[in-house]
Amino acid sequence: MKISSTFVCQQCGYQSASFLGKCPECGEWNSLVETKVSTEGLRIKDKGLSVGVEQSLVKLSDVKNQQIRRFSAGFEEFDRVLGGGIVPGSIVLISGDPGIGKSTLLLQSAMRIAKSTTSGQGTTSTTGMRKNQKARDTRDTLNSRDTPVLYVTGEESAQQVKIRADRIVHSSQFTLRLRSGQTVHSLRKTKKEKSVNHEPSTENLFILPATDVEAIMAASEKLAPTLLIVDSIQTLTSSDLSGAAGSVGQVRECAQILQRHAKTSGTPIFLVGHVTKEGSIAGPKVLEHLVDAVLNLEGDGTHAFRLLRSVKNRFGSTFEVGVFEMRDSGMVEVSNPSQIFLAQRISSRPGSVVTSTIAGGRPILAEVQALCTSTIFPVPTRRVTGLDFARTQIVIAALAKVANLALGNLDIYVNVAGGLKIFEPASDLPVALAIASAVVNKPVSDQICAFGEVGLLGELRQVVNLEGRIKEAKRLGFDDFVTPEKFKTLEDAISYAVHGG
C-alpha cells in the first residue's frame, strides 16, 4: 500500500504537492495542511462512487413515477421549510452559529418522530426503497416495535444528550440504558412512568456517541432507522484518510459516504454543520452541493426568536422560513409571528412604524424603530440593527435631499424590534418614516402600516406581494396603508404619515 502526501487548503479544498503560504485558489494565508492519503484505498473506494441502487443506463421516459410519501419532522414550521415534510432518502444540512439551537431543534424533532413511530402514526416511507431486510429484522432483537430514530453525536456523550432531553421534557425522568453488546444508547422511560400524549417520546430514540463514519454506517444498517441525525459532520472521520476531523478531505469523504447510504437505503439524514467566523458553512463547498437541502438557523443570541431559512432545497421552495422561539424547555414553533413581534410595541411614540415584510413565502409584521439625537462628535454616528446598512444610508441621504431634513448633525440609530432581520427593499419607506418621525418628534398613527422601496430621486417603487402584505396587516387590525400605490413620492408619504396631511 502506497502512502502519498498532499497539502490541502482548509478553505476551498485546493491541493498542492508542496506547502504554500498562500492558497492560489482562494487567497487565504496559512490554510494548507498536509494530508496523507492511501492511493490503494482510493482506488478501491472509487469503484462505488455511484449514487443510487441502479447503475445501468435508462431513458428518462422509461422511469416510472413513484409517489414519495413524506413524513413530518415534528414541527409544522420545520415541515414548511422542508417543503412539506421529510423526503425518504434525502440528506439535509442544517447550519448556524454556535448556541443558536441546532442540536436542540434536531433532538426535539427526533423525540417527536420517535413518539409518532411508537404510536404507529406518521412516519411512512416509499415502499421498496429499503433493500436491507436483515437490518429490518434486527429491530426484533432491540425490543423495538417500530422503526427507531438514530441520533449520532460526535461532540457530546450519551449522558450529556440525556441532560438536554431531560430539559426538553422536564416533567419526565429518563433512564439511560446501555444495550448489551452494542454501543448504541437508548433513552427510555421507566415502566412506572405514565406516557403523556403531548410530550415527546424517547421510546424509540437511540443515541450513538461516535465519530467514525464506518461505525455509524454499521449501526445505521443494523437499526434501519426512520431518521439518522449526525451532529456534526465536522467531527466525523474516515479510516481511508489520515487527515484530522474537520479537514476538507475528511468532510468531503464522510459526506459522500453518508450520501451514498441515504440514497441506497432510503434513510433520510440530517447533518449539523459548523460555520466560520464569516458566517459561511465550514468545510469544502462540495458539501453544500452533495446534500439535497441546506437550511440555516439564524437569530440574535440576545433574543428568543429563531428563523429557519431554506438556502437550497431540491424538494421544495427556497423562499420558505420557519419561526421558532427558544425557551428553557427547547424550541417552540411560532404559528403567528406577526402578533409576537408586535406584542410589546408602545403606541403613539415618535420613531416607531409598523411594516409588513415577506419572510419566505408569508408576510410578517414588524416594528421599525428610529432614534435621532444631537451628536457630540465631528462625524455623526450611524447604527443599524436588523436592516441592510447600505440601504439605510441611501434612505438617510434621500431624506436629507428630498425631504429637506437636517440630518448632518444628528446621530441616527435604526433597529428592527424583536431581533428580526429585514433585507428587502420594501423596508426603505418604514425606515424613512421612522427617522422623519423621530426628527420632528411626531408619532405615526398606530393604524398605519407602511412598506415600499425608496429610489435615489425620492420616488416610491412597487414591491412584491402587495395584497398579501395588506391582508396580514388587516388581520391584525391595521386599516391605513402608506404604500407606493397611494403615494408616488417620499415627500407625499412623509406629509401624510408624519405631518398628518
Query: If phi over 0 gives left and psi between -120 and 50 gives alpha, with beta otherwise, what is residue 166?
Result: alpha
Amino acid at site 464 = V
CB within 8 Å of 206: residues ≥ 6 apart: 148, 149, 150, 151, 184, 185, 186, 187, 223, 225
Element containing residue 4 per DSSP (H, E): strand 3-9
Alpha carbon distance 278, 303 (integer Å): 21
CA–centroid distance for 319 within its chain: 12
CA-to-CA distance for 71 and 83, rounded, in angstroms?
11
Residue 57, burial from CB neighbour count under 10 angstroms (0-12, 13-18, 19+): exposed
In the chain, % helix, strand, coil (3-state, to 5) comes to 30, 25, 45
Q: Which residues participate in the annotated binding site?
A: 96-103
Is-cis flag, bond preceding 232, omega within 30?
yes
What Å distances lie between residue 281 and 79, 93, 105, 241, 459, CA to CA?
A: 22, 10, 18, 22, 39
Sheet holding 149-153, edge to edge: 174-178, 185-189, 205-209, 149-153, 227-231, 269-273, 91-96, 293-298, 305-313, 321-327, 330-333
Helix or strand (DSSP H, E) at 33: strand 32-38
The neighbour count for residue 106, using CB atoms within 10 Å, is 25
3-state secondary structure string across 204-240:
CEEEEECCEHHHHHHHHHHHCCCEEEEECHHHCECCC
| CB distance 499 to 460 below 8 Å | no
Binding site membership for ATP: which residues? 96-103
CA distance linking residue 369 with residue 344, whole number of Å: 13
Smallest Cα–Cα separation from 15: which of 405, 271, 284, 413? Answer: 284
